[in-house]
Every structure is written in C-alpha cells, then in structure tokens.
A = this chain, B = another copy of it.
Amino acid sequence: MSETRFDVLGIGNAIVDVLAHVDEEFLVRHDLVKGSMRLIDEVEAERLYEALGPTLEQSGGSAANTIAALASFGCRAAFIGKVKDDQLGNVFAHDIRATGAHFGTPMAEDGPSTARCLVLVTPDGERTMNTWLGAAQNLGPEDVDEELVAASGIVYLEGYLWDPPAAKEAFRKAAEVARASGRKVALSLSDAFCVDRHRESFLDLIRNAVDILFANEAEIKSLYQVKTFNDAMHAVRQDCPLAVLTRSAAGSVIALPDDVHVIEAAPVKKVEDATGAGDLFAAGFLAGHARGLDLPDAARLGALAAAEIIQQMGARATRPFHEVARENGYHHF
C-alpha cells in the first residue's frame, strides 16, 4: 500500500451556517423539533430567514467542520463538497482552505446558490437546524477524485450525504475506491431523523463497508430501533469493527467487538451553542488516531475538541486546535 497524502478525506454537504438566537417559543410557533436537522426548500428558507433576528454567518457542514478542525490540529486533511461560485461559496472555500485543508472540488457556475443552514440557538445552547441544500445537491460521483481517495488514510463520510440522490452515488463510489485501495471508511450517522430516512442503506453499509462508525445516542438507538443505549451498543458490536458513540455530558463509549471503553466528557463551563459538538468529537478522535494515540486517548481528545466548540458560537474554532491539544498535555501536536 502506497504512502498517504492525507490522513483524512472528508466528503459532505458544503454549507454556510446562518446562526441566530431564538427563544423556545419560536421553535413551537414554527413547529420545529429541538436539536434536529430538517431539510427545507428555498421558499421555506427565505420565509424562516425573514422571521429571524440578526444573524452571524460562518462556514459549516458536518464533515467540513470535522475536516477544518483536523487541519487545525495540524493533520493532513482534504474535503470534497459542492458550492456555487457565489459570495457564500467563496467564503466556504476560503475558510476550509484557511485551516490548511485541501479543497479542490470545482464550484458550480450556475444552478442553485451555495447551501445554507439556518441554525437556531435556544437559550439552553441547543441548536435546531434548517438546511436548504442548494448547490450541495449537485455533488456527484464525477466530483470524487479517485486518486485523492486512494491517497487518503481514512475517507470520512457524513450520513447527510444520503439525502441528495447524486451525492449518494458519490458516497458509494468513494467507499468503494477506498476499500479497493486498502484505505479505511468512516461514517458519521449525522442525525436520528436522517437515520430514520435511510436505515436499511446505513445498516447495509455498516455491515459491509464501514471501518469506523460515529454516532450519538439518539442516532444509534434509531439505527437499531431499540429503546436503550446498551441494546444499541450490543447490536453495533456485532456489525462494526469500531464504533465511537457519544452521549453529550455523559461522555462517550468506544465499542469494539471484543471490548468496550467508557470515556468521560471534558469539563464545560457553559454551553453557548451545541453546533458542531459531534463533528468536533470526530475530528479530535481522528486526529488522535492519526497521531498514533490509543483509542481511549483519542476519544479524550475528541471530548476536548467538542467541549471547546460548544463554549462558543458556531462550529468552527477561533483558535488553532493544535494549541488546545498542547495546552491539555497532548504533546503529539
């Protein structure tokens, strides 16, 4: 197997987040399920945006957040995702490249604008997401550079990619090329409702092509349609060689077929905005993994990255993660 050019290649929806503070009543009035992600069309996106107070714009996207953070840890990271060549598309491209990540997916010249996610942050710091996929819908298998996939140690795929039909094909192609090249495939389940929409496909993929699975408690319970975390954990240990399961303040669990590690959450003063917690946990875990930490230590680094991001607005960090890692005694960074 040849040398890798990248530790991790992420493939996901390329999205700019539009963050706004709302009160609980706003969610009720607009029939929104707190903590979830729903897909909306452009008309609904405009309508909801109109109803919002002042906003703040920042690059987002689940796998893109993970890749940006990995690069910020100092790891070799690349991203594939589709934006349009418009102002927000250029903001997205700037921000991911500014972390040091490689991003070379051609921008769409016409068609829908760059995707936006209206992220509504309630006073408890929980976020409710409303995504208009825009240009991200047009990511297709032609955007998956086989050479890039084959040159990356891990291909990290977000479950949200299962929503736009062409992206699903891109996802499948990437997973096949990675396996054929002897690389690892990682999957994040993204959201409990997303799991509900694509349960059978996800199970099939996990049983046949996924080396590392990332999921939170709601997602893994939704995947196996079970009531308790323990039942879900038991099930996933039969299906996948390595599952990293996050449980918010209750910490995380690394589930292997023959072993289970329980990891505490990192201390948090106040949850400002939960956006990106799962994405950043995955980044810290994969960064630790790339630097040769053992699994529990890699999960602790994931917990640290998640704790850092939920104490600020948005899912992109304002200071380099290699500093955060070093301050916390991770001298590999």
List B contacts of A56 (CB < 8 A).
56-58, 314, 316, 318
A95 at the interface (CB under 8 A from B): yes
Query: Chain B's nearest CB lies how many Å from the CB of A93?
Result: 11
Which B-chain residue is minimally distant from A16 (CB atoms)? B57
User: Which among A3-11, A46-54, A302-310 touches the partner chain?
Assistant: A46-54
The 8 A CB mask of A57-76 against B (1 = contact, 0 = none) is: 11100000000100000000
Q: Which of A55, A58, A99 has the most B CB atoms < 10 Å from its CB?
A: A55
List B contacts of A268 (CB < 8 A).
none
Whether the pair B87, A68 counts as a contact (CB closer than 8 A) is no
Query: A21 and B58 in contact (CB under 8 A), knowing A49-B94, A53-B98, A87-B88?
Result: no
A24 at the interface (CB under 8 A from B): no
Q: Which of A21, A52, A88, A98 has the most B CB atoms < 10 Å from its CB?
A: A98
Which B-chain residue is minimally distant from A59 (CB atoms)? B54
A313 at the interface (CB under 8 A from B): yes
List B contacts of A57 (CB < 8 A).
56-58, 91
Query: Chain B's nearest CB lies how many Å from the CB of A7?
Result: 19
A-to-B contact residues, CB < 8 Å: 21, 49-50, 52-59, 68, 86-88, 91, 94-95, 98-99, 113, 313-314, 316-319
